[in-house]
Amino acid sequence: MRVLVVGAGAIGGYFGGRLLQAGNDVTFLVRPKRASELASAGLVIKSPNGDVTLKNPPTVQADKLTEKFDVILLSCKAFDLDDAIKSFAPAVGPQTSVIPMLNGMLHLDILDQKFGRERVLGGLCAIAATLNEKREVVQLAPMQSLNFGERDGTMSDRVRAIAKIMTNGITGAVASENIVQEMWEKWVFLSTLAASTCLMRTSVGNILAAPNGRDFMLGMLDETSAIAKAAGHAPTGPFFERTRGLLTSEGSQMTASMFRDIKAGAAIEADHVIGDLVARGDAAKVPLAKLRTAYTHLKAYEKQRG
C-alpha cells in the first residue's frame, strides 16, 4: 500500500517518518526548499519516543506528481487547503483514500466536492510537535494519536487494510467506528481553548485566576458544546468531564496553537475553526455571545495582519 504524505512539517514529518521508519512505502509531497533540506540532512525526528534520522526520504514535487497512491495523509493548515488540493490531486485515483487531519469539519465538504465523498475518510490527530531552527521535527511530549475511519461508522475492508500499515509504525493509531463524533469532540475542545486563550491573550491558568475567569471558560465550553449537540454530536460524558477538567485546571500553562500563532504574527485558522462553528450555531439558533466575540477578535487580528 502506497502512502503519500502531503508536506513534511511537524505533523506530516512525524507521522510519515514513523511509517517510513517501520518500512512502509511512503513518499512526501514537498516544495523545492523542503526537498533540498531532506536530501541534505534527511528527515530528523527528535522525540521522547525515540530519535531517528531517515536518510534521503522519498520525496516528490507537485509538478512531477503523476502516479496514483492508495492513501493520502493530509495535514496542512486550513488556509493552505486549496493549494494542497491542487498539488496532490493528480495522485488521487478511483481507489485512493484521503485521510485529512485538519481541525473542524469544513474541509470535509471541500474534499468531498473535489474528490467525491467515497474517497474521503474522517481523521484526526493529537500530537505536540514543531520544527526547530535546524528544520528537525521535534515532538514536545510523549502523547500521540492518529484516528481514522469511515464517516458512516462502518469498519470497511479498506479501513482494516489501512490500519495494518498505520499501526505498523505509529503508536496510538486507531481505526475508529465513531470518527465523526470524535472529530466533533476534538473541535469542541480545540475551539473552546482557542477562542478563550486568543481572546484573553493568555493561558488557561491565568484566565481562571482572573475575576469571573472560570465562569468565562465554562461559558465558552457550554456554547461550543451546544453547537455540537444541535448537529447531533453532543459531547459524551467521559469526554466532557475530561475536557472540563483540562479547562478548569488552576495554574495550567496550556494555550492553543492559534494563540501562539497570533503571538508570532502568523496566519491563523479563524474561519475554519471558529467561524464555521459560529455559522453552524447561528443556523441552529444557538446563543453565542462569547464565541462570536472571540471570532470578531480573530478577524480583527487578520485584518491588522493584512
Catalytic residues, which ones?
Answer: 186
> Looking up cell 514543531, which residue turns up?
130
Residue 119 φ then ψ, to 5°: -95, -5
With beta carbons less than 8 A apart as the criterion, state whether 98 and 120 touch.
yes
- Please, how many CA atoms are within 13 Å of residue 156, restricted to the half-sphere of its CB? 14
What distance in Å separates the CA atoms of residue 242 and residue 90, rounded to the nearest whole number?
41
What distance in Å separates the CA atoms of residue 124 and residue 108, rounded to the nearest whole number?
12
Residue 100 φ then ψ, to 5°: -85, 140
**Sign for the pseudo-dihedral over CA of 165, 166, 172, 176:** negative
